[in-house]
């Protein structure tokens, strides 16, 4: 006999567990009835293999004599067997109660039940929840947690949202766990989990069904929480990426706004000294421009019609300064004016056309701004063109922050779906005998997807 284990002197006292007497009496009676019912069932099956109530013996060579069994003897053996089984079942049940007391647990109704049910609320739809449950319940980790040496025997029906797992097949005969996922439409669903004893219903219940239900329930909760945490991390990552994108767009746009305003104010300062009436007209146009532009200057969203109006105001301001050296045409179909378009890009292209194309030309020039919508394999594309007949492409034309900002903002907003093309353009006034290397002008084309409403 092994010596009892002594607790350390500084160990906290173990609280004494007192079982509910009503549950204990019910558990002992239930254990005796189940154990006897199972034993008598197998005993009756064994007796059925023999001629019931008859004894077959040899009376003489070549003949048989049938003798009836003594019914009192049979009844006495049956009563003795039942009494012995009751004593055995009581001993097994009391040892389970003692083990619960050592573990600091009290007997509960689920601990002595052959069927235990649980309910889990899942934050996902039924299809996602079923896939997560299938992945969890068919793995080796759950089989090891349940005490199996291999992954559990597994059955699933995706059409009914039903999953059954157990130690061996057929699943219904052994102890098994059944999981059902509700099929109500919606962003969430619930999981009904039920642990069944199978033929172990006739055995003395020692919390096996409760343990299996708790293990499976814990595994499913961990998988659902892990998937929810992954989705939340992905959502936060997208939110951080979007915040970073907005910050970069605002920084790039802030570089464009002073560039345009400083040039306009410099022109106004020049006209104040040279032509006060023209300066007054320019100031009126500038005030009107700012009244329309300032509310949206810090926004990353605009429309094609608004950008076209701002371009018209800007070119009207520049015409006051340049006089007859500048002619312009701004035309856009009314059906395209409401389409989303990123702000401050079209102004940069027009400003480049004026500064690098017409201001250095020795003759009057024309700037034409237009837009068209085309269909492609990627969807509808909106193309805005700025064409001038100035001195053409030069090294200075590609310098500065204007075109670089446009290219970077397009990549941030649309990826590879948008593009900026700057190429030599045919001068509207070019004659057939004119040299091909003279004043061909520049054509700048800005293409964005029509669906890009987050610009």
DSSP H or E segment with residue 242 = helix 208-274
How far apart are alpha carbons 178 and 316 in whole angstroms? 77
Name the CATH architecture for the domain at 111-232: 2-Layer Sandwich (3.30)
Q: Tell me which fold the domain 275-427+439-449 belongs to.
A: Heat Shock Protein 90 (3.30.565)
Q: What is the pLDDT of residue 120?
A: 94
Those residues with Cβ within 8 angstroms of residue 56's Cβ, 6 or more apart along the chain or in another chain: 64, 66
Name the band, by pLDDT with cuts 50, 70 and 90, for residue 397: low
Grouping H, G, I as helix, E, B as strand and the rest as coil, residue 368 is strand
Residue 245 scores a pLDDT above 70: no
**Does the pLDDT at position 434 exceed 80?**
no
pTM: 0.54
Q: How far apart are CA 387 and CA 445, in angstroms?
A: 8
To the nearest 10°, report the CA torsion of 215, 220, 223, 226: -90
The DSSP 8-state label assigned to residue 59 in this structure reads: E
* Of residues 47 and 388, more confidently modeled: 388
Secondary structure class of 397 (helix, strand, coil): helix
* Mean pLDDT for the chain overall: 79
pLDDT of the residue at 427 = 47
Please tell me the distance from the alpha carbon of residue 133 to that of residue 143, in angstroms, as a whole number.
14
Q: Please report, for residues 181, 238, 294, 383, 447, the alpha-carbon distance to residue 421 in angstroms, rounded to integers and kept in the order given.
A: 55, 30, 29, 10, 8
pLDDT at 48 over 70: no
pLDDT digits (tens, 9 = 90+) for 179-191: 999 877 778 899 9
Residue 409 structure tokens: 């903002």
Specify burial of residue 405 (Cβ count, 10 A radius: 0-12, 13-18, 19+). buried
Q: Give residue 193's pLDDT.
A: 94
Q: Average of pLDDT values for 203-222?
A: 92
- More reliable by pLDDT, 204 or 300: 204
Residue indicated by tokens 């105001």: 313
Of the two residues 365 and 269, the one the predictor is more confident about is: 365
**pLDDT of 132-169, one tens digit each?**
999 999 888 888 888 888 889 989 998 899 999 999 88
Give the three-state DSSP class for 388.
strand
Per-residue pLDDT at 123 exceeds 50: yes
Q: Is the dihedral of CA 253, 254, 260, 264 positive or negative?
A: positive
Backbone phi and psi for residue 16, each to the nearest 5 degrees, phi listed first: -75, 130
Percentage of residues in the chain having pLDDT higher than 70: 75
Q: Give yes or no for a contact between 199 and 96, defined as CB atoms under 8 angstroms apart.
A: no
Distance CA 238, CA 244 (A): 10
The encoded tokens of residue 240 equal 């951080």
For the chain, residues classed under CATH 3.30.565.10 are: 275-427+439-449
The predicted pLDDT at position 311 comes to 87
CA end-to-end span of the chain: 82
User: Does the bond joining 170 to the residue before it have cis omega, within 30 degrees of 0?
Assistant: yes
Q: Across residues 12-30, what is the average pLDDT?
A: 80
Q: What is the C-alpha R_g of the chain?
A: 44
Q: Where in the chain do CATH 3.30.530.20 domains reside?
A: 111-232
Q: What is the pLDDT of residue 287?
A: 78
Highest mean pLDDT among 38-52, 388-402, 414-428: 414-428
Tally the residues of the chain: 455
pLDDT of residue 252: 54
pLDDT number for residue 249? 58
State the pLDDT at residue 451.
64
């Amino acid at each position: 006999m092994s010596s009892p284990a002594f607790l350390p002197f500084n160990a906290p006292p173990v609280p004494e567990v007192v079982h509910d007497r009503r549950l204990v009496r019910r558990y002992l009676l239930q254990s005796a009835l189940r154990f006897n019912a199972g034993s008598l069932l197998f005993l009756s099956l064994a007796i059925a293999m023999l001629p019931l109530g008859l004894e077959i013996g040899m009376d003489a060579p070549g003949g048989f004599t049938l003798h009836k069994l003594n019914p009192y003897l049979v009844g006495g053996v049956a009563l003795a067997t039942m009494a012995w089984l009751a004593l055995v079942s009581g001993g097994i049940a009391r040892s389970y109660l003692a083990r619960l007391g050592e573990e600091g647990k009290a007997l509960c109704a689920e601990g002595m039940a052959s069927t235990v049910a649980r309910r889990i609320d899942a934050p996902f739809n039924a299809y996602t929840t079923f896939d997560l449950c299938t992945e969890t319940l068919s793995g080796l980790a759950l089989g090891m947690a349940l005490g199996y040496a291999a992954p559990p025997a597994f059955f699933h029906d995706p059409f009914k949202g039903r999953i059954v797992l157990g130690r061996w097949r057929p699943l219904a005969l052994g102890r098994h766990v059944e999981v059902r996922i509700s099929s109500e439409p919606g962003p969430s669903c619930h999981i009904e989990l039920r642990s069944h004893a199978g033929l172990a219903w006739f055995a003395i219940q020692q919390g096996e069904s409760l343990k299996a239900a708790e293990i499976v329930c814990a595994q499913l909760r961990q998988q659902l929480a892990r998937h929810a945490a992954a989705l939340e991390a992905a959502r936060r990552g997208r939110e951080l990426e979007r915040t970073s994108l907005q910050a970069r767009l605002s920084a790039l746009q802030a570089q464009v706004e002073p560039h345009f305003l400083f040039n306009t104010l410099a022109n106004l300062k020049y006209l104040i000294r040279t032509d006060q009436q023209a300066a007054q007209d320019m100031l009126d146009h500038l005030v009107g421009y700012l009244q329309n532009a300032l509310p949206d200057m810090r926004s990353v969203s605009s429309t094609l019609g608004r950008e076209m109006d701002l371009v018209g105001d800007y070119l009207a301001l520049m015409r006051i300064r340049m006089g007859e050296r500048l002619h312009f045409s701004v035309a856009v179909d009314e059906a395209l004016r409401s389409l989303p378009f990123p702000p401050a890009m079209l102004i940069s292209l027009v400003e480049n056309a004026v500064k690098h194309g017409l201001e250095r030309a020795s003759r009057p020039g024309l700037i034409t701004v237009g837009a068209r919508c085309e269909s492609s394999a990627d969807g509808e594309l909106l193309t805005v063109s700025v064409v001038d007949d100035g001195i053409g492409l030069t090294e200075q034309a590609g310098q500065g922050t204007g075109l670089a900002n446009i290219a970077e903002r397009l990549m941030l907003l649309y990826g590879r779906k948008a593009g900026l093309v700057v190429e030599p353009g045919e001068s509207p006034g070019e004659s057939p005998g004119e040299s091909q290397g003279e004043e061909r002008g520049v054509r700048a084309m800005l293409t964005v997807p029509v669906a890009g409403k987050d610009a």
